[in-house]
Structure formats: C-alpha cells, structure tokens
Structure 1
C-alpha cells in the first residue's frame, strides 16, 4: 500500500467513526428531548388545578373596607394549590382575619403578622361593621374563644353590637362544647345577621347531587351558581337550581316528621321530640335509634 492509499484509508475510517459518533449523539439528544417532553407532560398531568370550582373566582364583595373582619380559608388554600393534586377535595377551614387591601377579583388578607395572603374574592366572606343583633337572631361569625366559622343564636342582646350567643355548629348536650361556651360575648363588627330566605354567606343550604340532598353552608351565590362548604370542610359548587335554603324561622312542633342532617345529608323519617328555641336546638328520633340533638339549621320539613 503506497502512502497516498494509506492516508485515504485513514480518512475514510475517521469519517465513518465521526458519522457514527454524531449519529449516537443525535440519538441521545432526541431521546433526551423525548424524555423531557414526557416529563413535562407528566408534570402537567399531575399539576394542581388552580381554582377548581365551577363558580366565578373574582366576584365583587359588598362595601369592603380595609381592617374589616373576614372569614376565609387563607391558611389552607394557597398550600392546597401548591401541594395537592386535587385542591378541590381538600378540607378548607374558614378562619377569621382582616381585609388588608381589596381588589376587583382578588383581595389581600392579613396573615398573622407574616406576608399578607392574596385570595380570590369568592373565598372571602366579609363581616359588616357595626352590625346590631336582637335576641333570637341567627348570626354568621366565628368561634371566638376557639377558631373557625360558626353560626350562632343570640341569647342576650343587651349590648346589640356585642351580643352573647350559643354556637350552632358546635355539638350540644351534656359536656359538649356548645354548652361549655354558651353565652359567649362576640366582638363588635365580628358577625352578620342571617336573614330568612336570603342567599347570603352563612345560610344553611341543601344541594341535590342527583341522589341525595347534601348539607352545606353558603359561601356565595350568583344567579346561576352556588359555592358552599360541605361535609368535612370540602368546598363544592352546584347549580343554584339544584339548591334549597333551609329556613331559619320554621313552624316546627313536637311530633312533626322532618328531614334532618345525618353525617353529610338530609335524611327523612325523623320525629321531633323536643324544641328549645332559645338555644336553637331540636331533639329528634328515628325508629329505634337513640334520640339526638341538632340545630335549627339542620332540620327541615321537606325539600
């Protein structure tokens, strides 16, 4: 083999090796791109869904003022969006705080001295300033020696801006929390009076899911939709046409047959055995079951 032939052979071998190497690198690059694409798709598929409810996120709130008391799941909701695959199924406890800055769709809430939290307006309930109450009124407030949203009935309104109440969403009976904290005095501007027949935050609602009447606490309502707190603090959206308000002022009598709350739903077949309107409680019994005590917001004649 002469010198020129030998050089030509070396060049051919180098070219083949280089082509093979380039092909391998190209294949690795394509594989990496495909892997990245699959990873991105997987991330997107498992990513939390921002605001998962079929209800307007940025509703307008009535007469908002900085410093006003509000109820909101502000300690739960941002975490749910960041960490949960399905934030719509997470328990969201509505705690009390104050409004820092109002916005048309989202507002900023005080966060116990830390950085303020921005929340969608649909998950904020304003409590009006300088509201006055009367004995027998049902209020939306929070458990003021504990925490979390509560409805309550007024037992003493000698100071109408600081009424004394019995909480309706705490269990009632011997050694129960509602009895232990009975006649607790509320702070000024920390409650809203619930009006019978009005779709206002805090109203008791029954929503038909196609099979059962689910119990809920109204957060907000539009002409067509309802956003409510359901069993175990999970938030649900329903068509308003599938929902009914539970009346506050019902003509209930001992011996009446009613539907009453059982776990998460209104169930028929109960009979009233006793009523104490002062504390907003009804004693009911079904067949051979043990008598139980429910609030006036957990019983209804029919739906």
Structure 2
C-alpha cells in the first residue's frame, strides 16, 4: 500500500506540473505526452490477470472517437510485472483507431476491450449532470459536474475527482480549474442507477466497502478502478451503486470516503450541490468530499 501511495503522489505531481506548464492546450499536450510514452512491450504477455471477460463487446464503437484506457501502462505491465493485477493503471484519453471483437487499437496500443471506455460522439449535457471525461488541462480519467450548459455539446464543468479547498488563500486543483470547458464528444453522461463506466460503486471486499469507479460490468461480474489506481474484479452481488441524487441534508449521519473506503461516523455540515461538494465531520475533523463519495448507508 505504501508503494502505491508513493506512485500516486508522483503521478499527481506530474499531472500538476503538466497542467501548470501547458496553459490552455494542456490537455492536448498531456495526451500527446502519454502517447509518446507508449512502448510496445517485448516478450510473452501473461494471461489477463482479472476474473472478468477480457474480450467484451463495446457499444456502438466508432473509429476516431475518444476513449479512456490505461494504454500507456497495460501493454508493458502484462509482460514485465510479476503481479500485474497489483499495479497502478491510469486511464488516459486517446482515440479508437481500430475496433475488433476482443481486442482493439487505441492510440498505437492493442488493448483488451474490457480496458477500453468509449466516449460517445455528439453527447449533450445539462447543468447538474455528472460526466465521465478526463482532466482536459492535465490528463487522466475524471468525473465532473456540469456548471454551465450554454453549449450542451461543450459544457463547462467542475472536476469532482480533483481535490477541492474552501480556503481562498490555498486553492486546490479543483478550484483552479473550475468551470473548464470540455471538448465536443469528450464525455459521457452518467445516469443514476445505471451500471455504466464512470459510475461510483461500493464493493464489499476484505471486510470493508471499497470505493471504486466502474470500468465495465456483466450480469455477474464487475471490473473497477480502486484506490491508487488498482484494478479489481468483483462479484456484482458484492457491489452497490452510489446514487447520483441523494436526499442528504445538513445534520445527516452518513458514510464518507477516507483512504479509498466508505467509513461510518460522519455528519454533514454543508452541501454545495452546484459544484458537487459535501462537507462532513468526524471526531472534530472536517473533510470535503464530492457527491459520489458520500452515502447514507450501505
């Protein structure tokens, strides 16, 4: 676990530096850098390391559309790592270059379809929608809430998966990149109650409720991205969707995410639904979480 925390700290620092140095074209620069880093692994690939179908069918694939995939990590780790299931996998944005039944080409890498998330072309959003996209001034898969839908195909958003601060003297990354406009066809709308890529799930594993982002689901299996960007496969019966729209009020006792798991004992002290943030407190300590990281009970 400590190794993964170190890895994520380094990656986060790299993303921040990328955004700070790249200006308005930061997303394009970061994505190009990710593509440049992709190297085709040499050697014999190991078997797909998760108990989940490797070659699933993707819905309405179109060559040229944006996708999210760990295409800069997976091809090498599946050859070089002794335990590829324990590695960290960042989902970057790129394009679908060739679609096939079990494996497809994204960027220049061949990837199993189960590790490819399609972002549909021409999707429209409205204020308050929660979207699956990527940090377009940096890189890496993110969920975001729509704050301005004047252009529904290129809405402005606040990123839910970036840290937020309510201290005006110490703004965090979510504050600095608030109301960022997304590219056309660079997002999907997450629907409440739907087992779709980008949804937040709670998975009961190792005697705790792990917070994860759904990658894909079948009738009985779930593939998900968890703490420190580790990929897990769960029985679907062990997982619960976290609702997008919950009747949570100030003063309610809730479960909230701490170090990758939902924990009990929090009380809601403030809610800002426009930016998708909830202030919670436990044992006198305040935390600010996003609306996908709090639930009344599991």
Following the alignment from structure 1 to structure 2, what is the Cα–Cα distance between the partners of residues 109 and 262?
34
Following the alignment from structure 1 to structure 2, what is the Cα–Cα distance between the partners of residues 283 and 187?
30
| Structure-2 residue corresponding to 1:73 | 70
Task: Work out whether 1:88 is the aligned partner of 2:85.
Answer: yes
- Return the offset for 1:48: 6.8
| Structure-2 residue corresponding to 1:228 | 224
| Structure-1 residue corresponding to 2:247 | 251
| Structure-2 residue corresponding to 1:194 | 190
- Return the offset for 1:188: 0.2
Instruction: Check the 8 A contact 1:156/1:164 in 2, yes or no.
Output: yes
Task: Work out whether 1:55 is the aligned partner of 2:52.
Answer: yes
- Per-residue deviation, residues 184-205 of structure 1 (Å, max 9, x unmatched): 0000000000000000000000
Point out which structure has higher relative CO (alpha carbons under 8 A, 6+ apart).
2
Consecutive unaligned residues of structure 2, counting only runs of 5 or more, are 1-43
Task: Work out whether 1:296 is the aligned partner of 2:287.
Answer: no
Following the alignment from structure 2 to structure 1, what is the Cα–Cα distance between the partners of residues 46 and 209?
27
| Structure-2 residue corresponding to 1:121 | 113
Instruction: Check the 8 A contact 1:48/1:84 in 2, yes or no.
Output: no
For residues 134-153 of structure 1, the aligned pairs below 5 Å read: 134-153=126-145
Deviating beyond 2 angstroms after TM superposition, the runs of 4 or more aligned structure 1 residues are 47-50
Task: Work out whether 1:211 is the aligned partner of 2:207.
Answer: yes
- Return the offset for 1:298: 0.3
Task: Work out whether 1:157 is the aligned partner of 2:149.
Answer: yes
Instruction: Check the 8 A contact 2:46/2:79 in 1, yes or no.
Output: no
| Number of equivalenced pairs | 251
- Secondary structure of the 1:291 match is strand
For residues 91-102 of structure 1, the aligned pairs below 5 Å read: 91-102=88-99
Instruction: Check the 8 A contact 1:48/1:87 in 2, yes or no.
Output: no
Task: Work out whether 1:237 is the aligned partner of 2:233.
Answer: yes
Q: Considering only CA atoms, is the larger Rg found in Structure 1 or Structure 2?
A: 1
- Secondary structure of the 1:297 match is helix
223-232 vs 208-217, which deviates more?
208-217
Report the aligned-residue RMSD.
0.9
Instruction: Give TM-score, length-normalised by structure 1.
Output: 0.82
Following the alignment from structure 1 to structure 2, what is the Cα–Cα distance between the partners of residues 271 and 49?
46
- Secondary structure of the 2:90 match is coil
| Structure-1 residue corresponding to 2:282 | 286
- Return the offset for 1:210: 4.4
- Return the offset for 1:50: 2.4
Consecutive unaligned residues of structure 1, counting only runs of 5 or more, are 1-46, 111-115
